[in-house]
Chains A and B, each alone.
Chain A
């Protein structure tokens, strides 16, 4: 017994001295985008071309791979490698990639796939490979109607993005915005909707009425927006799937920025009653309007936190326009911005950790983010005039609009949609047919 105890004691203390493990801390890495190869998707023999309006899509496999590449490039997280350098052909790559060939061109991940197009059906298979570990990471198949091929490309982009970053993608989404045409003094504003990459633009109103601040519901494909009918502000609801729209109500005085609650059951907005602008909610089922703030100052731009417990808004109750946070019943109001300049248009991130805002200081407009207590303010972009940030559904990218200065003749003015990610380095113009403002990002179409 004594021997056994001694043995255990020996093991315990002697091993400690003998097994001191060598540890090395790696605290730096390469922040370059991940090199990824997107092989053109192999089109199965016997597949048909896709007719889309006047266009005929001949090699849909290649087109899908191009859209995936553009999505990745725009995300700033991936570096799609040039197809000229690919050694292996798509048909063989999809069956079993020769990893040494892909390692040769420094690819760390590889997307391959196969497409079959029949009269009424498009079937797309894709695989994501870890080139370094020589193993498959994701393999999925989709079937849909042939006209839907662009969406399939976006869905594949989302799946790959999710697998390689650990967070949800944002490619299979839409953006609703106000399309603008005409000189600055006489702008025609129409409601427009497009895919997040600027494709498939459709106009939802005719331009004979002023439309403002369209906002997507975080739950479904409903949009609320403000429109002036006979100079009276009116809040509308538009169902993107059915095309049905309805008037939620007429509101007095200046009405601003209706926005959905996270559960999609209420809209929150500000309007001026008896000369004073306060924040109100309206239950969409019962149409009951409830006053949330009651202050002599101007309270506007309310935005719910994703859990629906808090509301961020801007108010000039301290003398200057600043951002405040309160409970959703209007209690416990706290000022969270104390920096120099004016703060406005707070928008709570879908992740819940950040609030995006517009800041005006010394004649410049900034889009920035900060924590929900106002700490950690980071200004992502600065310009002559820019505002109205809206979050991508994964809370990583912001879309906003930026105006350029007109000369003395009123020429040179433009309003364009831009996106920027949280790093502040990946700023990109979103191409639209016309000028655009007030963008709002939808949730993922497919979950």
Chain B
């Protein structure tokens, strides 16, 4: 019995010594590690939205007034209506009616409607359905020609800018201007679709009246966080660049402008 206890004691001691030697962490000095402390995050946007300072409010009001004034001066529909009779022969009574409409447009009270129309990117034509039959053949011919042109342009992968509104040199001038203003976010995933299409309504002097991101829904899609950043950078470029270098004439042709910002080419290249 005593022998067994003695043997047990000896073997246990040997085991304890061996364990102490073979497990190095038991001999180590405790590691002095930097503490990881918790940080509470609180959203403060909602609770601290601050009204515009008096000076900023005044500036905004001034800009608003200037915009209104420019819109009133441009009176785009007036010019447009004048063009119609040149291209499409209208019966005399229709011409008379057109003149009356043009007169109405010069009335300041009517300008508000024009602004509203423009704000929705709608180009509504004023005509009498009774006259459509007389116009329909002409319209068909024009459409056929336009479609033919469009098809050719698409096949050669070219956009409609010079065909409709800007000459090649005008387009190049506009591009060169925006290239300089667009700070490309450098952290973009190069293998994703990095095209942002922005539709603009311009004033005759090239300043931006309104801008709209065409693929707006993409911003809220999961995994598309970079798209918001890219779209914001494009909008920033337009704001920095304005007034845009647009031709002094032909406002009707380029007042609605679509800019396609494509970062893929740069990042892949």
Q: Once the chains bind, are A29 and B179 in contact (CB under 8 Å)?
A: yes
Q: What's the minimum C-beta distance from A136 to chain B, rounded to whole angstroms?
A: 7
Q: Does A6 contact B (CB under 8 A)?
A: yes
CB-defined contacts of A396 to chain B, threshold 8 Å: 187
In the complex with contacts A32-B183, A132-B240, A24-B188 CB distance below 8 A: no
Stretch of B1-9, B32-40, B97-105, B107-115 with 4 or more beta carbons under 8 angstroms from chain A: B32-40
Q: Once the chains bind, are A34 and B183 in contact (CB under 8 Å)?
A: yes
Q: Which of B191-213 contact A (CB under 8 A)?
A: 191, 199
Measured in the bound complex, the distance between the Cα atoms of B38 and A9 in whole Å is 66
Measured in the bound complex, the distance between the Cα atoms of B44 and A139 in whole Å is 6
Chain A 30-64: CB-based contact to B (< 8 A → 1; otherwise 0): 11111100000000000000000000000000000
Q: Once the chains bind, are A13 and B36 in contact (CB under 8 Å)?
A: no
In the complex with contacts A10-B139, A33-B186, A77-B187, A200-B34 CB distance below 8 A: yes
Task: Pick from B23, B28, B136, B146: contact of A16, CB below 8 A.
Answer: B146
10 additional A-B residue pairs with CB within 8 Å, beyond A21-B258, A25-B262, A143-B40: A3-B130, A16-B143, A16-B147, A30-B183, A139-B44, A142-B39, A142-B42, A166-B188, A166-B229, A240-B33
A99 (CB) vs chain B CBs: closest residue: B56
Q: Does A96 contact B (CB under 8 A)?
A: yes
Q: Does A145 contact B (CB under 8 A)?
A: yes
Q: Which residues of A are interface residues toward B (Cβ below 8 A)?
A: 3-4, 6-7, 9-10, 13-35, 76-77, 95-96, 98-99, 108, 125, 130, 132-134, 136, 138-145, 147-148, 151-152, 155, 161-167, 193, 200, 202, 204-206, 209, 221, 227, 229, 238, 240-241, 243, 245-247, 351, 353, 396, 423, 445-446
Q: Once the chains bind, are A3 and B184 in contact (CB under 8 Å)?
A: no
CB-defined contacts of A99 to chain B, threshold 8 Å: 56
In the complex with contacts A26-B182, A165-B187, A15-B123 CB distance below 8 A: yes
In the complex with contacts A3-B129, A167-B187, A209-B31 CB distance below 8 A: no
Q: Does B30 contact A (CB under 8 A)?
A: yes
Measured in the bound complex, the distance between the Cα atoms of B38 and A152 in whole Å is 10
Q: What's the minimum C-beta distance from A72 to chain B, rounded to whole angstroms?
A: 12
Chain B 136-153: CB-based contact to A (< 8 A → 1; otherwise 0): 100110110111001000
CB-defined contacts of A205 to chain B, threshold 8 Å: 28
Q: Once the chains bind, are B184 and A30 in contact (CB under 8 Å)?
A: yes
B237 (CB) vs chain A CBs: closest residue: A29
Stretch of B10-18, B70-78, B155-163 with 4 or more beta carbons under 8 angstroms from chain A: B155-163
Task: Pick from B31, B164, B225, B236: contact of A132, CB below 8 A.
Answer: B236
Q: Does B29 contact A (CB under 8 A)?
A: yes
CB-defined contacts of B189 to chain A, threshold 8 Å: 167, 351, 353
Chain B 226-269: CB-based contact to A (< 8 A → 1; otherwise 0): 11111011111101100000000000011011111111011000
Q: What's the minimum C-beta distance from B171 to chain A, rounded to whole angstroms?
A: 6
CB-defined contacts of B90 to chain A, threshold 8 Å: none
CB-defined contacts of A25 to chain B, threshold 8 Å: 159, 175, 260, 262
Measured in the bound complex, the distance between the Cα atoms of B164 and A139 in whole Å is 45
Q: Does B53 contact A (CB under 8 A)?
A: yes
Chain B 36-54: CB-based contact to A (< 8 A → 1; otherwise 0): 1111111111001110110
Measured in the bound complex, the distance between the Cα atoms of B146 and A238 in whole Å is 72
CB-defined contacts of A13 to chain B, threshold 8 Å: 139-140, 143
Q: List 24 A-B contacts (CB under 8 A).
A: A6-B132, A10-B136, A10-B139, A16-B146, A20-B150, A22-B164, A24-B257, A24-B260, A26-B178, A26-B237, A28-B175, A30-B179, A34-B186, A125-B44, A133-B236, A136-B45, A140-B41, A140-B43, A143-B39, A151-B37, A165-B185, A165-B188, A165-B226, A202-B33
Q: Once the chains bind, are A167 and B226 in contact (CB under 8 Å)?
A: yes
Measured in the bound complex, the distance between the Cα atoms of B52 and A254 in whole Å is 68
Q: Once the chains bind, are B39 and A148 in contact (CB under 8 Å)?
A: yes
Q: Once the chains bind, are B236 and A95 in contact (CB under 8 Å)?
A: no
Measured in the bound complex, the distance between the Cα atoms of B25 and A238 in whole Å is 11
CB-defined contacts of A221 to chain B, threshold 8 Å: 36
CB-defined contacts of A21 to chain B, threshold 8 Å: 160, 164, 199, 256-258
Q: Once the chains bind, are A22 and B25 in contact (CB under 8 Å)?
A: no
Q: What's the minimum C-beta distance from B129 to chain A, rounded to whole angstroms?
A: 5
Measured in the bound complex, the distance between the Cα atoms of B24 and A407 in whole Å is 37
B29 (CB) vs chain A CBs: closest residue: A206
Q: Once the chains bind, are B258 and A155 in contact (CB under 8 Å)?
A: no
In the complex with contacts A130-B232, A140-B41, A202-B34, A24-B186 CB distance below 8 A: no
Measured in the bound complex, the distance between the Cα atoms of B125 and A247 in whole Å is 82
Measured in the bound complex, the distance between the Cα atoms of B69 and A101 in whole Å is 27
Q: Does B180 contact A (CB under 8 A)?
A: yes
Q: Once the chains bind, are A166 and B230 in contact (CB under 8 Å)?
A: yes
Q: Once the chains bind, are A20 and B136 in contact (CB under 8 Å)?
A: no
CB-defined contacts of A162 to chain B, threshold 8 Å: 225
Q: Does B135 contact A (CB under 8 A)?
A: yes
Q: Once the chains bind, are B266 and A28 in contact (CB under 8 Å)?
A: yes
Measured in the bound complex, the distance between the Cα atoms of B190 and A423 in whole Å is 11
Measured in the bound complex, the distance between the Cα atoms of B140 and A226 in whole Å is 80
Measured in the bound complex, the distance between the Cα atoms of B183 and A27 in whole Å is 12
Q: Does B166 contact A (CB under 8 A)?
A: yes
Q: Does B181 contact A (CB under 8 A)?
A: yes
The listed residue with most B CB atoms (<10 A of its CB), out of A140, A166, A396, is A166
Q: What's the minimum C-beta distance from B211 to chain A, rounded to whole angstroms?
A: 11
Q: Once the chains bind, are A144 and B236 in contact (CB under 8 Å)?
A: no
In the complex with contacts A6-B132, A23-B260, A246-B25 CB distance below 8 A: yes
